[in-house]
Amino acid sequence: MAPPVPAIQTTRLTKRYRRNTALSDCSITVPEGSISALIGPNGAGKTTLLRLLCGLSEPSAGTALVLGASPRQAPESLAQVGFLAQEMPLYRRMTAADHITMGAHLNVRWDGQSVRDRLRGLDIPLDRAVGTLSGGQRAQVALALVLAKRPRLLLLDEPVAALDPLARRHFLATLTEAVAVAEGSLTVLLSSHLIADIERVCDHLILLAASHVQLCGETDELLAEHQILVGPKKDTGPIERAHTVVQATTTGKQSTLLIRLGGPLLDPAYQAEDVSLEELVLGYMGAAAPAAYAGLGPADPAELTGEER
Amino acid sequence: MTWVVWRYYRAQMAIALALLAAFAAVELTTGLQMASAWHSLLRTCSATAVNGSGNSCSGGSIIGFLGNDMRVLSVLAPAIIGILWGAPLVAHEMETGTATFAWTQGITRSRWLLAKAGWLLLAAAVWGGAVSALVTFWSGPVNAMRGDQFDGNFFETQGIVPIGYAVFATALGITAGALLRRTLPAIAVTLGGFIGIRILLDGLRPHLMPAVTTITSLTSNWSPPGISWVLGLNVINKAGQIVSYSGFSSTEVDGLPVSALPQACQKLVPAGYASGGNITSAPRGNPLGPVQSCLQSAGFRQAVTYQPGWRYWPFQGIETGIYLLLAAALVAVAWYAVRRRDA
């Protein structure tokens, strides 16, 4: 049996703008049917990557394969990919019902009834201008509309960033339900800053920082591959030879190392701990942070949370 | 896509129709008044008498309706829709982000643009045609009296050129918006560009077809037949070179410097005339008669350069065609920008 074609496969994907490089040598693989999280500090290139994948912009170098083909301006290609931009743009003066009719005119495959059912279930009025709805309701309308295309790939750019915790929960519930109903034929790639949400919803992780890919893989595997070592401050040479030290911080006589395992841990001087998703993400982000951040030398990775935005 | 365009623009279409209705009300009421005044004049006076001024038959009161500002309408009417429909077509959707919504549905950006632009350009053509039809009806009596059909106040507000202007202004707005991606700068470029191109092509109008030059004797009273567009009245010498512009008088040689006259003819110029170096006017009778006869026999002639009256519709057609071609080129640029540039 041939290996399944990944939903997304990019090779050294690069996007340069006039003055800066937004994305550099990005090679990632997203398996079909997964819910993947795209994490990284602001300006890391998350939005750029998503826009390249849905064909809204063209790469400067490298290739992107989306559902086995490069994203292009063709109806059959557009029909398979749903994209939700961060601002959830909708026509403010039009009603949800108008948007449903519009979708029916603009798409070959369109399930308008699903939008109506979903919005009625959430008590969202179909006949009011969407500009007068709350942010959470608007996000639900936008998500329902993008799902009505019955896409095989859903790209969501910080869909829950502007929502309150309850609206966020409802939004993610709608999303996971849609994935469950699709039974493996829907792949989701969503960018977010909220690690708790990612932990609950996503099974894959892509970490972008400083326009480069730092991590890409299944969340559980990535967590199992990393350990936090706490031990006396001493030469880390032997550790570095056997493993990859992602981030090292020292406080007083004690040093804390985030390592990617390269084999069995042998040094009994260190106490090994499993790493949490938050520690993993912040460790990589901290390591890739500019020197000015490094100079601040946060001993506790949690302190980075404030710097992240 | 048709439904989408209709849903998006129905409010603006209603506003445009209301504006058009208000304009039609003004044009029809004053136009009918003018027409009835004109017909009652014709019952008692001949058309040629009406054409004159200062007599009881003069149609001056009718002409009074028409200021010399009709030309402003030929800038305003197209500019309004270029600004309101053209400029925001792409730019507003990029500003509000709804372009991302539209461009990730199941149709290509090309189709999206061509459908929207196509319907709007059609609406612009209808708008231009309706305004022109109203003005043409309204101006009926004035047209008959004045007959300056090539004058900007007439030529640019009637016939088919207003359609060309409206379509061009809208296309310019669409393209400016597609390139600049912001509505306000696009509006500024549309307004400036439209006025600039209008000034340029208005200046080009006398040369749309090669002008006709008729050479007559200096003493003849000849003028081009029909309602023609006289571009120049010149005195030419034996070699056919223009020696001076003589104004509109055919009985005098106004403006022709005495020093430019042949020696033999200079002698015939009355003494008092040469004082200013120019022959300016005749005090009594026609003391310049001998000078003119002398010039005539020396080979001097009057040259009238003009566009014949029958060229009115060819000129309308050519000018409309130029604006429609420019509009097509602009839409092609917008199409390229929307298709190829990153959203």
Which chain B positions have a beta carbon within 8 Å of A87's beta carbon? 97
Is residue A268 exposed (0-12), middle (13-18) or buried (19+ Cβ within 10 Å)? exposed
Give pLDDT tens digits for A162-184: 888 888 898 899 899 999 998 88
Does position B246 have pLDDT exceeding 60, yes or no? no
Judged by CB atoms closer than 8 Å, whether chains meet at B106 and A92 is answered as no
The answer to pTM > 0.90 is: no
More confident residue, B177 or B52: B177
Q: State the smallest CA–CA distance between residue B335 and chain A in angstroms.
A: 13
B186 min Cα distance to partner chain A (Å):
21
Q: Per DSSP, which regions of chain B are E strands?
A: 212-216, 229-236, 242-245, 301-307
B116 vs A contacts (CB less than 8 Å): none
A91-119 per-residue burial string, b: 16 or more CB within 10 A, e: under 16: beebbbbbbbbbbebbbeebbbebbbebb
Is A148:A110 a contact under the CB 8 Å cutoff? yes
CA distances from B18 to A283, B64, B127 (A): 64, 27, 12
Structure tokens at A128: 């009011």
Question: Who among A56, A102, A109 is closest to B343 (CB)?
Answer: A56
Q: pLDDT tens digit string along A58-98?
A: 999 999 999 988 887 778 888 899 999 998 899 999 999 99
Query: Any chain B CB within 8 A of the CB of A98?
Result: yes
Tell me the two tokens of residue A6.
Answer: 């990944």
pLDDT of res. A242: 81
pLDDT of residue A144: 92
Test B98 with A108 for CB contact under 8 angstroms.
no
User: Is pLDDT above 70 for B157?
Assistant: yes
Contact yes or no for A62/B79 (Cβ under 8 A): no
- The neighbouring-strand residues paired with B306 are B212, B230
Cβ distance of B343 and A103 shorter than 8 Å: no
Task: Please tell me the predicted confidence (pLDDT) of residue A302.
Answer: 44
Q: Is the dihedral of CA A160, A163, A164, A166 positive or negative?
A: negative
Q: CB-CB: which of A57, A82, A106 is closest to B4?
A: A106
Between CA B183 and CA B113 the distance in angstroms is 16
pLDDT of residue B49: 58
Q: What pLDDT score does A297 carry?
A: 43
DSSP for residue A133:
S
Which chain B residue shows the shortest CA-CA distance from A98?
A: B7
**Cα angle A73, A74, A80; round to 5:** 105
CB of A300 less than 8 A from some CB of B: no
How many residues appear in chain B?
A: 343
Count of CB atoms situated within 10 Å of the CB of B104 = 24
Taking CB atoms and an 8 Å limit, are B7 and A92 in contact across chains? no
Cβ–Cβ < 8 Å for B92, B183: yes
* Neighbour count for residue B221 (Cβ, 10 Å): 8
Q: Which amino acid is at B99?
A: A
- Answer yes or no: do B104 and A56 touch at CB < 8 A: yes
pLDDT over threshold 50, residue B276: no
Residue A157 token pair: 């750019």
